[in-house]
Structure 1
């Protein structure tokens, strides 16, 4: 399963490390009301998974971790900010909460708990190393190009585990050759199974776009689109003009039950990456995303480039970097920066 990109070019070699100093993620939350029975906490965490952070709050407050709401999972090896929700009756105890890797930045009331997906997107700030002056110019040009033309919305390497062992587990479980008791693990493996199919479908569509459309994503008759309000629809003709204006985006299938499938020419490709027998709920995912608010700063003396950009929810910063580098990144042993 290879992640290929719309432009076929020579790779650009640079390095980056996922650690607390060089990989920063800030969740962009919704407009919380300011009143209600839930407290929305804006949290900063360092070198810690979202689940581990929630477990610390649950332990401190002596409540079930499922009572704590969150909008998305954030990287462990990074400095990240995100929002969580807890019933307002715990506000007094939360004022005394202290943890070396967690800091409460602010709090606000809201009418209901945060649910998965209750965010606008994420702002990434990443340091790239071993970047010379020529490469810095190339990186900036390609980043700006992706802002205008978009890039494939693959699931990144983080989705599939360090050695791809989760993929094999998922396939065996779906085939009935592996029994999993743990409900959370089961759900996780099914999401991996869906993600593998999506990435394979997207790679075929990208390859077709390279060959037939000069590296611009090729829209097909029967594609399903999502508009700026989140409405899914199938037009009679490909929406080229609105797609270029970023008003609509074509979607790909996360196979399962109760989800719309594409039709016509689009369906001929999609059917190869579908599993009509999968009982779990299916979804549609944007095939192309448009990075926004890109900022870059190059430090010539240290061959270091700082790049900041905003992506829609569910998208991967490492995929944005792969698109620029024109090569796949893989999970590796994470090093802590030297102090």
Structure 2
């Protein structure tokens, strides 16, 4: 399974490491009221999964992990900040919390617990190694081009496991050849199955755009769009002006029940990557995202380029880097 990008250009060779010094992720939250029955912790974690961090707080407070709210999962091999919530009655107890890989930065209040998806996006700061000065200029130019024209919103390699072994498990489970009792694992494997279909659909649309639209994402009659007000709709005609103004974005299908499906020309492609018999709830995902606030700082004597950028929630920094490099990356064996 490979991911294709809108420009079929020469590959740029650089390296990056997902570690605490060279891969920094900061969650951008939604606004908090400043009062209410829940304590909102702004937490910094180093070389820990979000699950490990939540488990540490759950053990310290002697509460089930389900009582701790969070907006999204953050990389393990990185330094990351994110927001979690607990009932405000634990605020005093948390002043004694100590952990070598976790630090509480600030505490505020809110009227309800943080729920999955309760974030605006993520800010990344990543060091790229082995970059010449000329390549640094090319990288910045390509990054800014994706800021203007959009970045294919693939699920990154992290979604599918180190050897993409999760894909085979998911297929076997859906086909009825693998029985899974664990509800969380079952939900995870269904999401893998849906993500694979989405990526394959997006790849075909990207290749079509390269062939027939000069490397700019090509809209089709019957596409389902997401408005800037987060509403899904299928217009009577292709909304090219609104698309160029970034007021609407085409979406792809994560198959399942009770989901809005494309029509006409767009449906002809989408139907190849659909499973109408899947019982789990379907979703739609933006086909493109627009990186923002891109900055590049080149360390001339070390051939290191630091690139910082902001992506919407659910989008992958490694996909942004793949788009620039014009190559696919894989999870490294540890």
TM-score by shorter chain over 0.5: yes
The alignment partner of 1:15 has SS state of coil
* Structure 1 unmatched runs, 5+: 335-339
Q: Determine if contact 2:223/2:262 at 8 Å carries over to the other structure.
A: yes
What is the TM-score when the length of structure 2 is the normalising length?
0.99
Deviation at 1:39, TM superposition (A): 0.7
Give the secondary structure class of the aligned counterpart of 1:301.
Answer: coil
1:96-143 residue CA offsets vs partner (Å, 9 max, x unmatched): 101000000001110101111000000000000000011011101100
Displacement after TM superposition at 1:333 (Å): 2.9
Any conservation in 1 of the 2:290–2:311 contact (CA below 8 Å)? yes
Q: Which consecutive unaligned segments of at least 5 residues does structure 2 have?
A: none
Contact kept in structure 1, 2:162 and 2:333, CA below 8 Å: no
- How far is 1:237 from its partner? 1.1
1:209 aligns with 2:172: no
CA contact (8 A) 2:122 2:312 kept: yes
Match runs of 1:34-113 below 5 Å: 34-113=34-113
Runs of 4+ in 1 over 2 A off after TM superposition: none
Matched, 1:134 2:143: no
Q: Partners in 1 of 2:229 and 2:82 — Cα distance? A: 23
In 2, Cα distance between equivalents of 1:48 and 1:297: 27
Alignment of 1:1-339 (within 5 A): 1-333=1-333
Distance 1:251 1:93 in 2: 45
Q: TM-score, normalised by structure 1?
A: 0.98
Give distance in 1, aligned partners of 2:56 and 2:43: 12
Paired residues in the alignment total 334
Q: Please give the alpha-carbon distance, in whole angstroms, between the structure 2 residues aligned to 1:256 and 1:105.
A: 40
Q: Is the 8 A contact 2:22 2:126 kept in 1?
A: yes
SS in 2 for 1:96: coil
The alpha carbon displacement at 1:228 in A equals 1.2
In the alignment, which residue of structure 2 is the partner of 1:337?
none
Shift of 1:187: 0.7
Q: Which whole-Å CA distance do the structure 1 matches of 2:41 and 2:273 have between them?
A: 40
Shift of 1:297: 0.2
Give the superposed CA RMSD. Answer: 0.6
CA distance in 2, matches of 1:237, 1:321: 34
